[in-house]
Amino acid sequence: MSTLDSKIPEGPVADKWTNHKNHINVVNPANKRLIDVIVVGSGLAGASASASLAEMGYNVKTFCFQDSPRRAHSIAAQGGINAAKNYQNDGDSTYRLFYDTVKGGDYRAREANVYRLAEVSASIIDQCVAQGVPFAREYGGLLDNRSFGGVLVSRTFYAKGQTGQQLLLGAYSAMSRQINKGKVTMYNRHEMLDLVLVDGKARGIIARNLVTGELERHSAHAVVLATGGYGNVFYLSTNAMGSNVTAAWRAHRRGAYFANPCYTQIHPTCIPRSGDYQSKLTLMSESLRNDGRIWVPKHKKDVEAIRSGKLKPTDLKENDRDYYLERRYPAFGNLVPRDVASRAAKERCDAGFGVNKTGEAVYLDFTAAIMRYGSEKAHTSHIHNPTDAQIRELGEKVIENKYGNLFQIYEKITDDNPYKTPMMIYPAVHYTMGGLWVDYNLMTTIPGCYAAGEANFSDHGANRLGASALMQGLADGYFVLPYTIGDFLADDIRTGEISTESPEFEATEKDVKDRLEALINNKGSKSVDHFHKRLGKVMWDKVGMARKTEGLKEAMAEIKQMREEFYKDVFVPGTVDEFNPELEKAARVADFLELGELFAKDALDRNESCGGHFREESQTEEGEAKRDDVNFAFVSAWEWTGNPSESNLHKEDLKFENIELKQRSYK
Amino acid sequence: MNLTLKIWRQKSPSSKGEMKTYPVKDISEDMSFLEMMDVLNEELINKGEEPVAFDHDCREGICGMCSMYINGEPHGPDRAVTTCQLHMRKFNDGDTIHIEPWRANAFPVLKDLVVDRSSFDRVIQAGGYVSVNTSGNSQDANAIPIPKENADLAFDAATCIGCGACVAACKNASAMLFVSAKVSQLSLLPQGEVEAKDRVLNMIDQMDDEGFGNCTNTGACAIECPKEISLDNIARMNREYLSASVSK
């Protein structure tokens, strides 16, 4: 077991980033033109990195598997983006955002990285407004904010429930401008299937043209992986259908350590599943918890009456409702962090209080907010003695203005009108805090291979706060990576173009070709989805919201066995040399079947509860997650050895110099 | 419910396609349209046949990737939804459903229901942006107040997901609604005003080069748009275009 060098700069935490920028190597503008960079992924991190690197002068090649870079799944982020602007004059500051993020992550993130994130957050908002991102504004013309879970200030900027879309389109437009200039070459419908190392450095990728099926070699002086998270290892998640771990996993197999794979965020407010045919789960933004109150009935008899349709939730008296988050966490109430809210919902449902047929749903109720906003509006509109119906109507308009698109999504999926009856929600897999291990420069353990955004592990510890994913993706892409990558590339100003005719490219391409042909030629009897669904079930049941030794050991054995079965019995129709979505899926699921096992192994190894990782063996008397800072204040970085269950563990000790380690409390 | 599907099958961009008939059974009304297609594909795979290729990704109505022309309407019979958000409760037991790809010269078919929409990307590349570099020193985000009304209108235009339903709905395969949404968004904001003239001229040039048709104001695009982008945007773009043409 070795200790990893995170290359955290010296000095006080508030000066580290500035000092670091002042002292790292810089490539002069003329030399940048001689250097190529590959960016894989076109979400917030990938698109913003591509645009910024190209503006600086590098030659950028960007890859996405979708039909357009604008489809990347960052587009689906709803609620908002945090920034320490203190526009609301509520005492926000860089330090406070830093503190909230470290605490929210249950003290399992690297202080220096999180401080830098908080430091650049304000610039992100300035940059996006300059690009024409239409954030929500107040009547005075200034930017509006809202609150998110786990914090006591209003620092979240938003664009209705489509903040991710607006930010991504901003980054996409910045990148489109560079495509127009010829500084970014865009490869749509191309999927990275392996990383090419030359002399131990990342010098290119093997990508498959998904339209023709052709394998292509692409070289560069550095490779940036901005390929998102791996939540789809659970089959059902809020991720897009195509979201996958393959690029990161292939880099892992080539030497990049994979950090904290077990840190997964189960988001508390998703639309519950309705049947076995379900292909994905849909999130309802956390911002709804600003105005929605979460409850289940207090008495079992009411639960049964509701499930059988004899009682409507709106008919249940206030006294007969259990607003369990407000009851358990009076200080933060409905705005506790996601991991806490998810576990509390599971606790109520496990105790038999779930309100739908499956027993896996709780209510998210807007009545109080509708009536409150309605009264306010009646007051400002000088309507005297308004009736309840009038107030409700006015209030519904205010709610529609804030969350209209979310309410519409909900209604389309469930056929229920959430203005009139409370929403039903249940936790679902949403985001993965784990990812490729990176140092302070965002470089993985492979020289020249970088990871940005959700694909890396660095900033969210064991639990991500709401509205911080967008912040991190854009911080990495606009303001961190474009500077830190120069430190590595400064050695390459005389290297010249990297040839794709080397034995390394040849060998890697052959590996990919053999892998794909083996899948096609297998001619088994079961579909790819068959295996993916089974893997997802094992992951959810045994490596999901609550984990224990026995279940984790079973999961490892079952996944290993499933992987063997997959290679014996999977059926992939069609050929390698054509547009073949089933083949794409098969290659992705093959990698999920390896990751899943490492994921369970990591969860087993971490015999403490922290953030989204809840070990039943490690809880307080009240059932809250109990950390073990003496034995587990480290990052687990796994090295590939040829078999997931035999991966080597490397530790990066986490030092907390600015924040005191405390048991998290939101009471 | 039990349904009969008539689906466009086309092996490759150059091959000739045809409508093929597939029965599907035991479809739940709570399924999304794409989940119903998953059921069909799973059956085809189990029979050793090739599944129907279709584009899809987020399945929550925002990425803009899904694109089916269902019973003569882009994204099917429901309003303000993409195909992935269309649910089977909008259909009846025994229905026959026709499923085709988007049809437009500027969107060539790649396979079955999958089309190539990179022409949209090229229209954006021609000017759908504000020319600012990344900088940690751009002016404070609140330096220029923007009237809420304009910010809201810009936002409404900016919610376009680039799915191409407007083009598919139009008898001329015109992309005016798509292009005007981006032109409107940026012309309504002070940040976009500086380049407004070049932008509208360049984007419309590119739109014409891609082979999209002309606008004859039928309004089908706005009706079928899953994000309910308003026809006002086309009016705004025409005004921008006219003023840019005479002053340039």
pLDDT band at A39 (very low <50, low <70, confident <90, very high): very high
CA–CA gap between residue A636 and residue A650 (Å, rounded): 6
Tens digit of each residue's pLDDT (9 = 90 or more) over A462-497: 999 999 999 999 999 999 999 999 999 999 999 999
Check CB contact of B151 with chain A, cutoff 8 Å: yes
What is chain B's length? 248
User: Both B140 and B231 in a single domain?
Assistant: yes
Q: Which long-range contacts (CB under 8 A, 24 or more apart) does B16-23 make?
A: B17/B109, B17/B112, B19/B98, B19/B100
pLDDT band at A139 (very low <50, low <70, confident <90, very high): very high
User: Both B189 and B213 in a single domain?
Assistant: yes
User: Both B93 and B135 in a single domain?
Assistant: no
- List the domain range (segments joined by +) for residue B20: 3-110
User: Both B14 and B81 in a single domain?
Assistant: yes
Query: Which residue does chain A place closest to B81, by CA atoms?
Result: A412
Q: What is the dihedral of CA A286, A291, A297, A303, to 10 degrees?
A: -60
Between A and B, how many CB-CB pairs are < 8 A? 220
User: Both B139 and B192 in a single domain?
Assistant: yes
DSSP SS3 for A80:
coil
Cα→Cα distances A23→A9, A57, A113, A484, B199, Å: 10, 21, 17, 11, 40
Nearest CA of chain A to the CA of B190: how many Å? 8
Distance of alpha carbon A321 from the chain centroid: 33
Partners of B107 on chain A (C-beta within 8 Å) are: none
Q: Pairing relation of β-strands A222-225 and A449-451? A: parallel
What are the phi and psi torsion angles at B31 (to 5°)?
A: -70, 150
Check CB contact of A139 with chain B, cutoff 8 Å: yes
Partners of A280 on chain B (C-beta within 8 Å) are: 59-60
Average pLDDT score over residue span A281-307: 94
Tens digit of each residue's pLDDT (9 = 90 or more) over B80-116: 999 999 999 999 999 999 999 999 999 999 999 999 9
pLDDT band at B49 (very low <50, low <70, confident <90, very high): very high
Picking from A34-48, A49-63, A652-666, B72-86, which range would have the lowest pLDDT averaged per residue? A652-666
Q: For helices A44-56 and A481-489, what crossing angle results, to 10°?
A: 60
Last residue of a domain, one of B84, B110, B136: B110
Among the partner residues A132, A283, A479, nearest to B191 by beta-carbon distance = A132
**Most B CBs within 10 Å, among A128, A280, A415, A424, to test the B interface:** A280
Check CB contact of B15 with chain A, cutoff 8 Å: no
Query: Which residue does chain B place closest to A123, by CA atoms?
Result: B136
Q: Is residue A2's pLDDT more than 60?
A: no
Q: Is residue A136's pLDDT more than 50?
A: yes
Interface of B with A in 38-57 (CB under 8 A): 38-39, 42, 44-46, 48-51, 53, 55-57
Among the partner residues B133, B142, B159, nearest to A143 by beta-carbon distance = B142
User: Both B157 and B227 in a single domain?
Assistant: yes
Catalytic status, residue A338: yes
User: Both B126 and B235 in a single domain?
Assistant: yes
User: Both B142 and B42 in a single domain?
Assistant: no
User: Both B62 and B105 in a single domain?
Assistant: yes
Last residue of a domain, one of B110, B127, B155: B110
Q: What is the dihedral of CA A188, A227, A595, A358, to 10 degrees?
A: -90
- Please state the ipTM of this predicted complex: 0.98
Check CB contact of A642 with chain B, cutoff 8 Å: no
Q: Which of A338, A534, A588, A615 is catalytic?
A: A338
The residues near A268 (Cβ < 8 Å, ≥ 6 apart) are A286, A289, A338, A341, A342, A344, A345, A425, A427
Tens digit of each residue's pLDDT (9 = 90 or more) over B143-181: 999 999 999 999 999 999 999 999 999 999 999 999 999
Cα→Cα distances A466→A151, A335, A533, A560, A572, Å: 10, 10, 28, 34, 39
Domains in chain B: how many in total?
Answer: 2
Query: Which residue does chain A place closest to B13, by CA atoms?
Result: A211
Q: Is residue A329's pLDDT more than 60?
A: yes
Q: What's the pLDDT score for residue A276?
A: 86
User: Both B17 and B89 in a single domain?
Assistant: yes
- Any idea which fold A504-628 has? Methane Monooxygenase Hydroxylase; Chain G, domain 1 (1.20.58)
Tens digit of each residue's pLDDT (9 = 90 or more) over A50-61: 999 999 999 999
Q: Is residue A3's pLDDT more than 80?
A: no
**Most B CBs within 10 Å, among A125, A241, A583, A585, to test the B interface:** A241
- CATH number for the domain that contains residue B80: 3.10.20.30
User: Both B154 and B223 in a single domain?
Assistant: yes
**Pick from A395, A447, A487, A437: nearest CA to A637:** A437
Q: What's the pLDDT score for residue A664?
A: 84
Cα→Cα distances A635→A192, A337, A438, A555, Å: 27, 21, 11, 22
Q: Is residue A515's pLDDT more than 50?
A: yes
Tens digit of each residue's pLDDT (9 = 90 or more) over B217-236: 999 999 999 999 999 999 99
CA–CA gap between residue B61 and residue B67 (Å, rounded): 11
- Any idea which fold A267-429 has? Flavocytochrome C3; Chain A, domain 1 (3.90.700)
pLDDT band at A274 (very low <50, low <70, confident <90, very high): confident
CA–CA gap between residue A418 and residue A404 (Å, rounded): 11
CATH 3.90.700.10 domain range(s) in chain A: 267-429
Partners of B57 on chain A (C-beta within 8 Å) are: 66, 71, 73, 240-242
Amino acid at A319: N
Average pLDDT score over residue span A532-556: 97
Partners of A67 on chain B (C-beta within 8 Å) are: 55, 65, 114, 116-118
Tens digit of each residue's pLDDT (9 = 90 or more) over A378-404: 999 999 999 999 999 999 999 998 888
Last residue of a domain, one of B110, B134, B155: B110
CATH 1.20.58.100 domain range(s) in chain A: 504-628
User: Both B77 and B157 in a single domain?
Assistant: no
Picking from A430-434, A618-622, B8-12, which range would have the lowest pLDDT averaged per residue? A618-622
Tens digit of each residue's pLDDT (9 = 90 or more) over A79-97: 899 999 999 999 999 999 9
Q: Is residue A1's pLDDT more than 50?
A: no
Partners of A128 on chain B (C-beta within 8 Å) are: 141
